[in-house]
């Protein structure tokens, strides 16, 4: 079939736009990430004198970095509509966020839709696959105190011990509030077949839009971060006992991400922007942690039930284009999530000005020394 002039123009425009966006992302990373690191190196004396203030500043810089990532999608027309419970109501409390996992763009979507949730972004901890440690953002996550988990049966027990130690060492000492994890342990397309075989073998529901979650990390987080009086647990972990002011983990936020036509956005699309503007839908359901069972078998059943509900939510969404209304209501109400373009431009400008400042400073020091 012959390509028309109009089609050739559209392809050419898309390629040019993708190339320019890629160049901007590279420049953005080259100035923003080193600036973040250098600011925190300079502020090391403050870390010794006033650790709380140091981690406050680090959190603000971290939020700005995530806002830059959000801006790449926002300016390409990849926006978010939110459904279900309003998580802003618990943004100042400690919460564990459980998210279904379809593609690399899930993380970018969360970076975007949590920007307007108060202090959440600067005070959150991420659990992510260890491979992300070796990406351009890895150094930032290492400094911020995120946890990189290595997948696989041979590493599982050791990783859970390391996770518990990590939480006790960094979660409250750095004033973290929300912890985000993907209990499925991998992308849907990679785990679906294995999950369905496991479900068939163990007489569990057949799931197409999610996979059966894994218990380990969820259980460790609850045992370590839930206060003694919650969850029927005799002790809430060393981290809670060391921080008597903390109320402990108070909420579990079940988060379901849905893409139109079940076509997830990956990081390449987020960066290059070659897909048409897309609205991603995010559904929240909040559970008090006291209603979450502590005993492993009961917790496993509870966690399975959450993902069975996700399956129902996503099935309804793919059939109707909307999430179902909450129980007892006749209509589901959505909320359009918005970002300020002026604020995003200001953050990007600060990043590039910082990069220029550090470059001039190193040039000056070089000439003074040599």
Q: Is the pLDDT of residue 3 over 70?
A: no
| Chain centroid to CA 279 | 18
| Residue 233 domain-assigned (yes or no) | no
Q: Is the pLDDT of residue 231 over 60?
A: no
Considering the entire predicted model, what is its pTM?
Answer: 0.90
Q: What is the pLDDT of residues 185-211, one digit of tens each?
A: 889 888 899 999 989 999 999 999 999
| Residue 238 domain-assigned (yes or no) | no
Reported as type and span, the H/E element at residue 180 is: strand 178-181
Q: Output the six-digit token pair for 226.
A: 């839930």
Q: Is the pLDDT of residue 233 over 50?
A: no
Beta strands 78-84 and 278-288 are parallel
| Residue 282 domain-assigned (yes or no) | yes
Q: What is the pLDDT of residues 23-37, one digit of tens each?
A: 999 999 999 999 999
Beta strands 95-99 and 278-288 are unpaired
| Residue 146 domain-assigned (yes or no) | yes
| Residue 239 domain-assigned (yes or no) | no
DSSP 169: I
Q: Output the six-digit token pair for 233.
A: 């647990």
Q: What is the pLDDT of residues 112-125, one digit of tens each?
A: 999 999 889 999 99
| Residue 304 domain-assigned (yes or no) | yes
| Residue 232 domain-assigned (yes or no) | no
| Residue 236 domain-assigned (yes or no) | no
- Tell me how far apart the terminal alpha carbons of the chain are, to the nearest angstrom: 64
Query: What is the phi/psi pair of residue 336, to 5°?
Result: -80, 125
Domain count, the chain: 1
- Structure confidence at residue 235 (pLDDT): 44
Which residue range is the domain that position 72 belongs to? 5-227+247-369
Q: Is the pLDDT of residue 323 over 50?
A: yes
């Amino acid at each position: 079939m012959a390509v028309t002039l109009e089609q050739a123009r559209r392809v050419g425009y898309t390629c040019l736009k993708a190339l320019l966006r890629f160049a901007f992302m590279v420049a953005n990373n080259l100035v923003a990430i080193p600036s973040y690191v250098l600011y925190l190196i300079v502020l090391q004396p403050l870390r010794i004198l006033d650790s709380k203030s140091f981690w406050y500043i680090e959190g603000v810089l971290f939020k700005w970095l995530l806002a830059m990532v959000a801006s790449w999608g926002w300016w390409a027309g990849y926006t978010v509509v939110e459904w279900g419970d309003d998580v802003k109501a618990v943004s100042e409390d400690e919460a564990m966020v459980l998210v279904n996992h379809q593609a690399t763009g899930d993380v970018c979507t969360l970076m975007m839709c949590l920007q307007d949730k108060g202090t959440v972004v600067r005070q959150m901890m991420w659990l992510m696959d260890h491979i992300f440690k070796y990406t351009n953002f890895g150094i930032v996550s290492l400094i911020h105190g995120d946890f990189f988990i290595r997948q696989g049966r041979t590493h599982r027990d050791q990783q859970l011990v390391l996770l518990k130690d990590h939480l006790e060492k960094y979660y409250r000492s750095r004033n973290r509030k929300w912890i985000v994890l993907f209990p499925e342990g991998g992308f849907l397309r990679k785990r679906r077949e294995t999950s369905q075989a496991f479900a068939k073998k163990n007489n569990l529901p057949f799931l197409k839009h999610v996979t059966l979650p894994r218990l380990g990390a969820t259980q460790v987080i609850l045992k370590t971060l839930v206060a003694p009086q919650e969850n029927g647990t005799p002790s809430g972990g060393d981290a809670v006992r060391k921080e008597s002011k903390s109320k402990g983990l108070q909420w579990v936020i079940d988060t379901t991400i849905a893409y139109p036509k079940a076509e997830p956005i990956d990081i390449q699309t987020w960066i290059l922007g070659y897909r048409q503007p897309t609205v991603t839908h995010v559904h929240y359901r909040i559970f008090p942690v006291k209603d979450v069972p502590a005993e492993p078998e009961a917790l496993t059943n509870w966690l399975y039930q959450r993902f069975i509900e996700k399956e129902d939510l996503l099935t309804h969404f793919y059939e109707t284009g909307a999430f179902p209304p909450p129980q007892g209501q006749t209509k589901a109400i959505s909320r359009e999530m918005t970002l300020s373009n002026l604020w995003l431009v200001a953050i990007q400008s600060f990043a590039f000005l910082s990069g220029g400042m550090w470059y001039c400073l190193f040039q000056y020091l070089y000439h003074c020394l040599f």
